[in-house]
Amino acid sequence: MNPPITAGIVPWRSAATSLDHWLDRLRVPLEAWSGARRLAVALLVAVGVFVPGARSWSAVDLGGIAASRVALDDAQRRLVSARHVLAQLPALRARVAAKALHGQPVVWTSADDVRAFSQLAARSELVLVSLEPGAASGEGIDAMRSVKLAARGNFAQIMRFVHGLTGLPVLVVPADLTVKRHDDALEIAATLQVFSKLIPVGAGRVTPQDEMLDASDAPIDQDVALHDPFSPQRIGGVDLPDAMRLRLVGLLRDRTHGLALVETAQGTQTVEPGQSFGEQRVTKIDALGLALAARGEAHLLTLAGEPE
C-alpha cells in the first residue's frame, strides 16, 4: 500500500460527498422544505427585489423627494433675500425722505390731482359727482392749482375724505367747503388748492380703511370730532349779543387745524379759528364746540347741548 496516494484520495471523496449532499438538499421538493429554509429563501428574494427597486425609485425620484428638497432650498434662499430687503427698508425710506426734504420735490401734475382725489373719494366711500381741474397760478413754492370737487355721501365719509388729504404727498388745502343736505344724503362742494411744490407734515401716510373713524363709534374726545350735524339731538342754538341766531351743525378737527360748519339765517358758512364772523370772532375750535368772543363776552356753541 502506498500511503501518500491513500492520503490524497480521502479529502477528495469527502468534498465530493459534501457537494452531493448539498445538491440532494437543493433537489428537495418545495413542500418538503423546512420553515427556516423557506424564511431564508424569502429573505434573499426580498433583498434581491428591494435593493434594485430602491435604487430605481431614487434614480427617477418617483416620490418627489429630490424636487421637494430643491424647492425647500429655493424657498429658504428667497426668505433670506426677503429678510435682507426688509432690513434695508428703513434706510431706503430715510433716503427718500431726505431727498424730498432737500430740494427734490415730488413730480405732481394735474393728472395726479384727478387720480389722487378719485382714489381718495373711493376709499372714503363718497360718490364722486364731478371733478374739474382749474387753472394754475403762482410760481416757485407758491405754484398752485385749484380743483373743484362735488360728491355725495354721509358726514363720516366726508370726514374720511378731508382727513385723507393730509396723507397725500403734496399739500392740499380745502379753500372752500360747502355741505348741504340733499334727500337722504349730503352734498359736498369743495375747491381744493394743490401746492405741488410743498410737502405736508405726514406726507405718504395713508390711513387704513379700518382705522378711519365711523359715525357709530367715534368718541367726542378723539383728534377728529365726528357728529351727525343733522340729528335733532346734536343741534344747539345760541342767542348772540347781536341777536343773530346760530346753530353749529358740524366740526372737523385734527391735531393742527379746525373747521366748523355754522348755520345762520342767510345759510351755512364754514369758519376757522381767528376768523371774524359778523361781530364775533372765532377764538377756538375743539372737540367741545365753537368758541366765540364779542364785546368782552365769550360763548361756546356746541353740537349736542345749550350754549355755555
Same domain, 212 and 224: no
Residue 65 within a domain: no
Check whether residue 151 and residue 209 sit in a common domain. yes
Quick one: 208 and 109 in the same domain?
yes
Same domain, 163 and 248: no
> CA separation (Å) from 299 to 120, 252, 292?
36, 19, 5
Amino acid 88: pLDDT:
84
| Same domain membership, residue 298 and residue 207 | no
Can you give the residue range of the structural domain that contains 260? 218-308
The answer to whether residue 182 sits within a structural domain is yes
**Do 189 and 112 share a structural domain?**
yes
Residues 172 and 196 in one domain: yes
- Bridge partner residues of 148 (DSSP): 132, 191
Specify if 132 maps to a domain.
yes
> Which CA distances in Å does 119 have to 112, 123, 125, 164?
10, 6, 10, 10
Grid cell digits, residue 89: 427698508
- Number of separate domains in the chain: 3
Based on the fold, state whether residues 262 and 186 are members of the same structural domain: no
Parts of the chain with a pLDDT under 70: 1-28, 30, 32, 60-64, 95-106, 201-245, 304-308
pTM, to two decimals: 0.40
Q: Which of 219, 202, 210, 221 is nearest to 160 (CA)?
A: 210
In our burial notation (b when 16+ CB lie closer than 10 A, e otherwise), range 115-136 reads ebbeebbebbebebeebebbee
Residue 230 lies in a domain: yes
Whether residue 258 contacts residue 273, with contact meaning beta carbons closer than 8 Å, is answered with yes
- Residue 220: the pLDDT is 37
Q: Are residues 36 and 132 in the same domain?
A: no
In the chain, which ranges are E strands? 127-137, 144-153, 171-182, 185-195, 236-239, 245-253, 258-264, 267-271, 276-277, 280-285, 290-294, 297-301
The reply to whether 122 and 133 lie within a common domain is yes
